[in-house]
A and B are shown apart, each in its own frame.
Chain A
Amino acid sequence: MEKFTTLTSIAVPLDRANVDTDAIIPKQFLKSIKRSGFGPNLFDEWRYLDHGEVGMDNSKRPLNTEFVLNQPQYQGAQILLARENFGCGSSREHAPWALEDYGFKAIIAPSFADIFYNNCFKNGILPIVQDNNVMDELFAVNGEITINLEAQSITTGDKNYAFEVDAERKKRLLHGLDDIGLTLQYTDEIKAFETEYFKTYSWL
């Protein structure tokens, strides 16, 4: 996993509440058995005017120019601004894969659905919670936003906002650590737990 330290970028304002993972990456793209390549189909039904299927040449498809991701001033953005309950619905990790593949590294919203929030960290994306007032201010920003994970701060112009992040998750993102490798350090501990566990719950 890539490290996340600081990030400076413009932000795409996606002004909708309850954006679900079906909208982030529609189900027809879930049939891929790979982890990468989902970026061109991120928000597919909002982004293109035609119906997207696997295997299409996305560069030839008609774009919905009204959709914010397609507007010229937001090209190359690595931060996504969203509203309440972002990432609700299906647990598909294809959603953060698509966001990451597109180039997003951070998402700022007033709230996230739990599974999606978890999945972001596994893919080097930093989800940040800010209250609605701050979100309104961020939505109004015209320019770059800087996120500093170490300092847990968001800066834009002369404004500075703090954010919370679980210490363990922060450490993993900062150092780009592999979750499985870390857990396997505790192999002996897990084995010891298991032995006791199956003694107590012997029917399992």
Chain B
Amino acid sequence: MPKTLYDKLMSAHMVREEGSTLLIYIDRQLIHEVTSPQAFEGLEMAGRKPWRIDANLAVPDHNVPTTERSSGVSGISDPISKLQIETLDKYCETFGINEIHMTDVRQGIVHVVGPEQGATLPGMSIVCGDSHTSTHGALGALAFGIGTSEVEHVLATGCLWQSKSKNLKIEVNGNLNEHVSAKDVALYIVGQIGTAGGTGYAIEFSGDTIQGLSIEGRMTLCNMAIEAGARVGMVAVDVKTIEYVKGRPLAPTGDEWDKAVVYWNTLHSDADAHFDKVVNFNAADIKPQVTWGTSPEMVISIDGVIPDPDKETDSVKAESIRNALNYIHLDANTPINTVDIDVVFIGSCTNSRIEDLRLAAEVVEGKHIADNIKQALVVPGSGLIKKQAEDEGLDKIFTDAGFEWREAGCSMCLAMNADKLEAGERCASTSNRNFEGRQGQGSFTHLVSPAIAAASAIAGHFSGV
């Protein structure tokens, strides 16, 4: 029977079947400091040991300061952030789990570090106590976010109980318009199918537009599958995938490499595989996107106007537009490109890879951020990306333009460290969530691509390139 990529990956990892629930073998668990302490504590209290230590890789990212950090954990001023990282360090040490420490040049956002190190390989089952684990599906892996109890379960048993998702194919075809990137494609899709459009499904992104994206672009797209409600987002393995993986520190070599490639080349949906739902989009319809509200589905084109709740016939939707506009201090029918911003954030597991930084740097080169911009941050996704950007001179372009150039971490994506917005501040952010208070209580987040964030920093308001 022809199979989808998701079905292939699920059956390759199936240890046991109990009705509609499957026991899935987990190849890789990525660990960060926020969702793991309670899992480690549970494991320790029950006197259990990790099932397979090598399956795990830990890296602190959510709480790490992005300013100078040579003094390591002891230099963190917030005692609670410090405790969380110390707790991760302590448990990784106790259990012998490989951890990339915060002072290591390889440190960064867990979803950036995994693929960069080759800890993420095609065909793997990958979990992490973080919803954006869907990112790793860009390499043809089965990757999804789990809760802390499940983190503990995977630590203890090497496996996880999963009910099977339905298959959703999202196909995008055609050439992308100028200055339209993977982020715009992701926001556009979330806007079209809604934040619950993918609930209960594993999404496979396909079509020639998707094939045309780089692996980094595919990661941006899969990263936001969860914003459409799907735990899993995937792209089939192709030549680019294999090129990307080759030579990574944890990737196989020699004969094992050749063997792996043979298998990886089977990681695509069969020609007549059945999908429970198929949605098609035309790349030509996608313009640069900006969110205007408090949910990623509240999104319009950069040349669009903010919707009017009075024109919405569905009363629940009208109410949520009103709530959002009320929170975000904007009026219906305002052209979004007339809205001034205070802060610009380029970073997060969605858009902090080298390609993102290059795109943004190209836009700001030789220019300067507008006078009304209080802060413009560039936070690379990992220490290695930071280094590469510096080798290419991108840091200089950013700092000359008035941006701050920081150390790697989650930073202002969720503001668990010192990088946060004040109440009333409006931010053009390349992250993935614009929920109320996400970047600081009472602050306003607008999700955009790196190019739009950069252009808006220069203009002082939302702007196309």
By a beta-carbon cutoff of 8 Å, the part of chain A in contact with chain B is 16-18, 20, 22-23, 26-28, 30-35, 45, 51, 54, 83-85, 88-93, 96, 111-115, 118-119, 122-123, 166-169, 179-180, 183-184, 186, 189-190, 193-194, 197, 201-204
Question: Is there contact, CB below 8 Å, between A88 and B195?
Answer: yes
Chain B, interface residues (CB within 8 Å), range: 35 or more
B80 touching A31 by the CB < 8 A rule? yes
- Check: B244 CB closer than 8 A to any chain A CB: no
Cβ < 8 Å to A, chain B residues 408-460: 414-416, 433, 435-438, 441
The answer to whether B83 and A31 have CB atoms under 8 Å apart is yes
Is A114 within 8 A of B252, CB to CB? Answer: no
Q: What residues on A are CB-neighbors of B263 within 8 Å?
A: 201
Pairs across A and B, CB under 8 Å, 13 listed: A17-B320, A20-B435, A22-B433, A26-B437, A26-B441, A32-B80, A89-B131, A93-B35, A183-B161, A190-B51, A190-B157, A193-B15, A203-B257
Task: Assess the B146–A115 pair: CB atoms within 8 A.
Answer: yes
Chain A minimum-CB-distance residue to B131: A91
Interface residue stretch chosen among B122-130, B354-362, B373-381, B396-404: B122-130
Beta-carbon nearest neighbor of B415 in chain A: A27
Bound: A148/B124 CA distance, A:
40
- Cβ contacts under 8 Å, B435 to chain A: 20, 22-23, 89
Closest 7 CB pairs of A and B: A203-B252, A122-B149, A93-B147, A33-B37, A119-B147, A203-B256, A91-B131
Cβ distance B4 to chain A, nearest Cβ, rounded Å: 18
Check A34 against B416 for contact (C-beta < 8 Å).
no
Q: Does B167 contact A (CB under 8 A)?
A: no
Interface set, chain B 205-222, CB cutoff 8 A to A: none
Contacts known (A122-B149, A166-B20); A83 close to B437, Cβ less than 8 A: no
Bound form: Cα–Cα A92–B438 in Å: 14
Kindly state whether residue B196 has any CB partner on chain A within 8 Å: yes
Closest to B158 in A: A190
Q: Which residues of A sit under 8 angstroms from B153, Cβ to Cβ?
A: 179-180, 183
> Which residues of B are found within 8 Å of A30, using beta-carbon distances?
34, 416
Q: A33-B38, A85-B196, A115-B131 are in contact. Are A27 and B157 (CB under 8 A)?
A: no
Q: How far is the CA of A177 from the CA of B158 in the complex (A)?
A: 19
Residues of A within 8 A of B438 (CB): 22, 27
Chain A residue numbers with a CB within 8 Å of B316 are: 17, 83-84
Complex contact B157–A168 (CB within 8 A): no
A35 / chain B contacts, CB cutoff of 8 Å: 38, 41, 148
Q: How far is the CA of A54 from the CA of B83 in the complex (A)?
A: 13
Contact string against A for B residues 16-50, beta-carbon threshold 8 Å, 1 for contact and 0 otherwise: 10111101010100000011011001000010100
Hey, which chain A residues are within 8 Å of B260, CB to CB?
201, 203
Asked if residues B149 and A111 are in contact (CB atoms below 8 Å), the reply is: no
Residue of A nearest to B194 (CB): A85
A18 CA to B297 CA in the complex, in Å?
11
Instruction: Looking at the assembled complex, report how far the CB atom of A19 sits from the nearest CB atom of chain B, in whole angstroms.
Output: 10
Q: Pick the contact of B84 from A33, A112, A122 — CB < 8 Å?
A: A33
Q: Which residues of B contact A54 (CB under 8 A)?
A: 80
Tell me the minimal C-beta distance from B279 to chain A in angstroms.
18
CB proximity of A114 to chain B, nearest CB, Å: 5
B121 at the interface (CB under 8 A from A): yes
Given known A-B contacts A84-B196, A189-B16, A202 and B256 have beta carbons under 8 A apart:
yes
Q: Choose one: B21, B52, B81, B433; the contact of A166 (CB below 8 Å).
A: B21
